[in-house]
Amino acid sequence: MIHIKNISKSFGENKVLDHFSMTIPEGETTCLMGASGCGKTTLLRILMGLETADEGTVEGLDPSRLSAVFQEDRLCENLSAMANIRLVCLSKDKKVIADQMDQIGLAGCANQPVRELSGGMRRRIALLRAINAPGDVLILDEPFKGLDDITKENVILFVDRSCKGRTLLCVTHDEDEVGALNAKQVIRMR
């Protein structure tokens, strides 16, 4: 279990989080929802150790045991799709990764530099990289944005299958995504 207790964070005069608390069950999917600007991404950045809370504590989370998909894809532009994914899992068989790529509609682009790929393709590569990274916790910040409906449905099913037993925290604005991910918990931030 990850316990987030009374987290507060301000940027200047703008208080983004005000004594926010929640518990994330281990090995389950939790979706975080709320209006733009309510602090969802800031909370994720605190959990990842990229921001420091002004007040409060996070217990039960080792940042070295998590992987993430940010709102931006954060890929290495000059590396191929395969090389970007393998950055986190060098010992994984390339055939396994190629099979995963096929499953989410990325057949044939393994050796292309990611700078040549569409936004939706890049998004799926970022997801595969996070899923293949070692660790118990996967943090996804609007991971399905930019995907058409059919591709999104296929990718969500893949994520759900691939992340069984891992703790998954997903920020989304889409109720359909919450259902498709079989979220055990939905937290609505204000």
Give the tokens for residue 27.
């090995």
What's 99-118 look like in SS3? Answer: HHHHHCCCCCCCCCEHHHCC
Give the CA radius of gyration of the chain: 17
* pLDDT value of residue 135: 87
Residues 6+ apart with CB under 8 A from 118: none
Each residue's pLDDT, cut to its tens digit, for the chain (190 residues) gives 999 999 999 999 999 999 999 999 999 999 999 999 899 999 999 999 999 999 999 999 988 889 999 999 899 999 999 999 999 999 899 999 999 999 999 999 999 999 999 999 999 999 999 999 998 999 999 999 989 999 999 999 999 999 999 999 999 999 999 999 999 999 999 8
User: What's the mean pLDDT when you consider all of the chain?
Assistant: 95
- 153-186 burial string, b = 16+ CB within 10 Å, else e? ebbbebbeebbeebbbbbbbeeeebbebbebeee
The pTM (predicted TM-score) of the whole model is 0.92
- The two tokens of residue 136 are 């118990």
- Kindly report, residue by residue over 128-140, the tens digit of the pLDDT: 999 999 989 999 9
